Structure 1
Amino acid sequence: MSEEILINVTPRETRVAVVENGMLQEVLIERSSRRGYVGNIYKGRVQRVMPGMQAAFVDIGLDRAAFLHASDILRPAVPEPLDGEEPAPVPTTAIGELLREGQEVIVQVVKDPIGTKGARLTTQISIPSRYLVLLPHGRVLGVSARIEDEDERARLKAMMGELSLDAPMGYIVRTNAEGQSQEALAKDVVYLDKVWNAVRAGMAEARVGTCIYEDLSLILRCVRDYMREDVEKVRVDSRESFERIQRFVTRFIPELAERVEHYPGERPIFDLYGVEDEVLRAMQKQVPLKSGGYLVIDQTEAMTTVDVNTGAFLGHRNLEDTVFRTNLEAAQSIARQLRLRNLGGIIIIDFIDMQDAEHRRQVLRQLEKSLAHDHTKATVHEFSPLGLVEMTRKRTTDSLVRQLCEPCPTCAGRGSIKTAETVCYEIFREITRAVRQFEAEKLLVLASARVVTRILEEESGAVAELEEFIGKTIRFQADEQYAQEQYDVVLL
């Protein structure tokens, strides 16, 4: 699998595209006006403790108070009992005993503000580097589950055991560390130690609402997290950003430094790879499949639903074979679309019904296999009794659509508007209501051209009856400024 990372930089916006085998897989966007907060460490103050929710709202200097659940609060470790001693009591989990209003706390953002919800916080601090994640308050020594080779896991754990022997802190070995030497891991340990010392110094000096530690910019985060042996090129269209990446890569990933390139071309780099067109398609509800079938993706506040349809695909054998092949293709496409659109939370997939249990098993395995390339954790469950696949994908930032779009001002995000016929009858009711309440010699109705046309043509008989009923003349005037659902009844 060949992979390229494309970076487009403008003064107000940075975009990163991950392209695998010539196909766009992921788009990340960071705007100077709305930089993400995930990974940042703040000194906050507890504003309100909510025992009923087992949570607290914390002021960290953002527009909205952030949310801290009791399960995300670090508790002091319970010491092992000595011979003959009673075990120490387990620390309390009640939020009222863990925090009090006005208390200052050091917290880290684990989820950006989304919609009307504030940021999600934790007091269990973690600081990532190229190959490791430092857990300053833990003694855990873990290895990423994505490293499946048992011998490699044992080798990495043994090396980290030696490197962290004297450190009262924990580490998690990241997927990028697979195959790395002890020297490479040792450099990361030194780097993380320096960062943590700087954070500790900031904890004592910082005022409430101050950011003590800020994660790397989007460009450097992507290089740190995505640049591996199978990445052929990192191409960036900004000379200044290219030089920043070069300095970072030379320091932390020198063996891959030659793969970073500056793109000086006249044609925009995203146009060159067809990324702009793919981003536009990722904002559509319907996704065509090569076979002729298609997906319909609906994102709501509670969950995302994906419906699979055969469309124009008729198959060559029988219905079960046609359905099976469509579902296999859909499973691959769904995994890509979830990653490309950055869809998270609860996801319900309605595959086309399959009678064969083996076919259902293969479709599920195909979905899991396709999701294995995703950097975001996803959990897939078996087919439900209704034939639905339920899954979750970790959500830390807004989806691509919610980053780039806003609710339609015409339909207010409903996805539909009232028909011209419906608006006509609303206008008739409003006229009747108005003449009963107020005195007027005649009435003027302002509405959209489509509604006025319908009233004057198809509803002319109804207008004549209404004028006779109320005993007044009604004049209708089309106005291009009015949307289809808008109208005004003016008394003259």
Structure 2
Amino acid sequence: MSSEILINVTPQETRVAVVDNGVLQEVYIERDKRRGIVGNIYKGRVSRVLPGMQAAFIDMGLARTGFLHRNDLTDPDSDEAPDNTSNLTRTPAIEHLLNEGDEVLVQVLKDPIGSKGARLTTRLAIPSRYLVLIPDCPPSIGISQRIEDETERERLRGLVYQYQSGVIPIAVGDHDNLGIQPRLPPVDVLNNGGFIVRTAAEGVNDDKIRKDIDFLCRLWHSIQGRIDSITAPGTIYEDLPLFMRTLRDLVDTETEKVRIDSRESYDRLADFARRFIPEFVDRIELYTGEHPILDLYSVEDEIQKSLGRRVELKSGGHLYIDQTEAMTTIDINTGAFVGHRNLEETIFKTNLEATHAIARQLRLRNLGGIIIVDFIDMQDTEHQRQVLRTLDKHLERDHSKVAISEVTSLGLVQITRKRTRESLEHVLCEPCPTCHGRGSVKTAESVCYEIFREILREVRQFDAKKLLVIASQPVVDMLLDDESTSVAELEAFIGRSITFQVETLYDQEQYDIVLL
């Protein structure tokens, strides 16, 4: 599968589109006023400790405090590896480790989402193209699970161990960008730090791995130099901007082109590639076409479609995707697809087609947390297994961690997908001011009957000769037409006249009753 990455850079925002075989798969948006902070490192100050939640709120100098759970807090007296989860029955409680006013070095795991502040950890991780450095932990080497070839895993593990243990000295290269001072002495990581080998390292030669280790060690050396000089709360390290993270994290051997429409950003991206990924330099292009770059492959249209509830399938079936605070639900329907053989076969083919669309929509919309999929009921257990296997296969390309459950007794499939940033809908949209986020409004008929009840309530409390009802055009039209008989009966019952006035600025649920 060939892929292409399109990068649109403006002074206000950067948008990145990942396109596979001409079909949009992922969208990343970073706005200048609300830049993502995942990966940033801060010197924070403990503002509050919550023993009942085994958590603390950390002031990092941002608009909202961050949330640090005990499981994400390293015990300074513990030798645990960074990927071990603390057992609260065996390790000190958070109130024994942190006090209000303490300074703590934290890294952002998740961006602030909705009303929640950023999720934090004290287990720092510094990523590069091929490796992730885990400083301040016992020496360890982890290998990405997506590297399946055991021979390659052993090669990479042995290679990193050689540099980590000092068997082969870490050379000092000329990586003087990103604010890192050039020609710093290599950092000894044997007794202080571990590495995780990323998927992108598969098949990479020894020299590139060495340069990556060199870069990470000196980057951490630079970060250490800032820790003592920064006063809490303050920023120690900021991750790369989106268009450069794209080259670091998203480009792989299947990426044919990276097109970018900003000359300045293109120069920075090409320079970054020359230093760290020289084999990809020729794949970076400056886009100078007449049409906007995201009009290629109808990316703009696909982004608009991804904000809707309904997703059409080629067969004629469709999905309904509803995103709520607690979870996301996906419902599959056969729609216009009637099949060719029998009902069970029609259902099976629709569900199989839906698995591809679901995997794509999860990536495109960046849906995280709990996702409940209501597949069309299948009686054949083999069909159920095939649908789950196909869904799992389509989700293999997802950059986020995904887990799938078996089909429940109700025919539902539960998916959990790690959420690190806001969904596309939350980035681009806000709750509707008319329905206040409910997704629906009262009918004009319902508002009419509500007005009748309010009129009765008003005349029982106040003495007025007549009443004026101010409402939206649809409501007034219904009161004067379909409900005219009801209005006449109400006037006779209360012994007062009722007049109506249209207010064009009112939404359908809004009205006022004026006593005259």
Q: 1:79 to 1:331 in 2, by over 3 A?
A: closer
Q: Partners in 1 of 2:256 and 2:25 — Cα distance?
A: 15
How many Å apart are 1:395 and its aligned residue?
0.3
Residue 360 of structure 1 pairs with residue 384 of structure 2: yes
Counterpart code for 1:270: L
Counterpart CA distance in 1 for 2:34 and 2:473 is 39
Deviation at 1:441, TM superposition (A): 2.0
Query: 3-state SS of the aligned residue for 1:164?
Result: helix
TM-score (norm 1): 0.96
Contact 1:136 1:170 in 2 (8 A): yes
Partner of 1:55: 55
Superposed CA RMSD in Å reads: 1.4
Q: Which residue is equivalent to 1:105?
A: 104
- Whether 2:39 is the aligned partner of 1:39: answer yes
- CA deviation after TM superposition for structure 1 residue 382, in Å: 1.1
Cα gap change, 1:9 to 1:79, in 2 (>3 Å) = closer
**1:180 matched to 2:179:** no
Cα gap change, 1:6 to 1:172, in 2 (>3 Å) = same
Give 1:396's match in structure 2, choosing from 415, 420, 442: 420
Q: How far apart, in 2, do the equivalents of 1:350 and 1:416 lie?
A: 23
Q: Which sits farther off after the overlay, 386-395 or 438-447?
A: 438-447
The letter of the residue matching 1:267 is H
TM-aligned CA deviation for residue 473 of structure 1 = 1.4
Give 1:137 shift.
1.6
What displacement does 1:79 show?
6.3
State whether structure 2 residue 235 is matched by structure 1 residue 236.
Answer: no
Matched, 1:326 2:335: no
Paired residues for 1:193-212 under 5 Å = 193-212=217-236
SS in 2 for 1:375: coil
SS in 2 for 1:115: coil
Q: Secondary structure at the match of 1:274?
A: helix
Candidates 213, 229, 244, aligned match of 1:189: 213
Q: Which residue of 1 aligns with 2:93?
A: 94
Alpha-carbon spacing, 1:79–1:484, altered in 2? closer, same or farther (3 Å): closer
Rounded Cα–Cα distance in structure 1 between residues aligned with 2:205 and 2:356: 35
The 1-side partners of 2:386 and 2:343 are apart by: 17
8 Å Cα contact 1:199-1:213 kept in structure 2: yes
Instruction: Give secondary structure in 2 for the equivalent of 1:488.
Output: strand
Superposed CA offset, 1:319-375 (max 9, x none)? 111111111110111000000000000011111111111111111011010001111
Matches within 5 A, 1:465-484: 465-484=489-508
Please show how residues 74-223 of structure 1 align to structure 2 within 5 Å: 74-76=74-76, 78=78, 92-138=91-137, 139-166=139-166, 167=189, 168-223=192-247
Cα distance per residue 1:188-215 (max 9 Å; x no partner): 1111111111111111111112110000
Q: 5+ residue gaps in structure 2?
A: 81-87, 167-188
Amino acid at match of 1:58: I
Paired residue for 1:349? 373
In structure 1, distance between residues paired with 2:404 and 2:261: 38
Matched, 1:258 2:257: no
Is 1:225 the counterpart of 2:277? The answer is no
Q: 1:419 aligns with which of 425, 430, 443?
A: 443
Q: In the alignment, residue 161 of structure 2 is paired with which amino acid?
A: G
Map residues 254-293 of structure 1 onto 2, 5 A cutoff: 254-293=278-317
TM-score by length of structure 2 reads 0.92
CA distance in structure 2 between the aligned counterparts of 1:103 and 1:243, rounded to whole angstroms: 43
**Shift in Å, 1:226:** 1.2
Task: Give the partner amino acid of 1:38.
Answer: V
Distance 2:115 2:280 in 1: 42
Contact 1:30 1:218 in 2 (8 A): yes
1:246 aligns with 270
| Counterpart amino acid of residue 333 in structure 1 | A
**Contact kept in structure 2, 1:71 and 1:93, CA below 8 Å:** no
Which residue in 1 is equivalent to 2:172? none
SS at match of 2:228: helix
Given that 1:92 and 1:98 are in contact with CA atoms closer than 8 Å, whether structure 2 keeps it comes out as no
Q: How far apart in 2 are the matches of 1:326 and 1:350?
A: 12
| Structure 2 residue identity aligned to 1:28 | Y
Asked if structure 2 preserves the Cα contact closer than 8 Å seen for 1:78 and 1:91, the reply is: no
Deviation for aligned residue 1:470: 2.0
Compared with structure 1, are the counterparts of its residues 124 and 91 closer, same or farther at alpha carbon in structure 2 (3 Å cutoff)?
Answer: farther
Look up the equivalent residue of 2:281 and give its one-letter code.
A
Amino acid at match of 1:160: V
| Deviation (angstroms), 1:429 | 1.4
For 1:466, give the aligned amino acid: L
Q: In the alignment, what sits opposite 2:14?
A: 14
- Aligned to 1:331, the other structure's residue is in SS state helix
Pairing of 1:303-322 with structure 2 (within 5 A): 303-322=327-346
Superposed displacement of residue 91, structure 1: 6.4
Counterpart Cα distance in 2 of 1:412 and 1:309: 28
Stretches of structure 1 lacking an aligned partner (at least 5 in a row): 81-88
Paired residue for 1:336? 360
Which residue of 2 is the match for residue 86 of structure 1?
A: none
1:469 to partner: Cα distance: 2.1
**Alignment correspondent of 1:410:** 434
Paired with 1:384 and 1:216, the residues of 2 have a C-alpha distance of 42
Measured in 1, the distance between the counterparts of 2:205 and 2:346 equals 49
Conserved? CA contact 1:305–1:348, under 8 Å = yes
**1:301 corresponding residue in structure 2:** 325
Partner of 1:4: 4
Amino acid at match of 2:409: P
* Alpha-carbon distance change, 77 to 321 in structure 1, aligned in 2, over 3 angstroms: farther
Q: Give the AA of the match of 1:337.
A: Q
2: distance between equivalents of 1:447 and 1:365? 55
How many residues of Structure 1 are paired with residues of Structure 2 in the alignment? 484
Q: C-alpha displacement at 1:456, in angstroms? A: 0.9
Aligned to 1:84: none
The CA distance in 2 between the partners of 1:419 and 1:169, in whole Å, is 63
Separation in 2, partners of 1:26, 1:14: 14
Match of 1:205, SS state, is coil
Instruction: Return the letter of the residue paired with 2:279.
Output: E
Work out whether residues 45 and 102 of structure 1, in 8 Å CA contact, stay in contact via their aligned partners in 2.
yes
Looking at structure 2, the residues matched to 245 and 411 of structure 1 have their Cα atoms a distance apart, in angstroms, of: 44
1:266 is displaced (CA, Å) by: 1.4
**Distance change (3 Å), C-alpha of 1:78 and 1:10:** closer
- CA-CA distance at 1:77 after TM superposition: 5.7
For residues 60 and 140 of structure 2, the distance between their equivalents in structure 1, rounded to whole angstroms, comes to 28
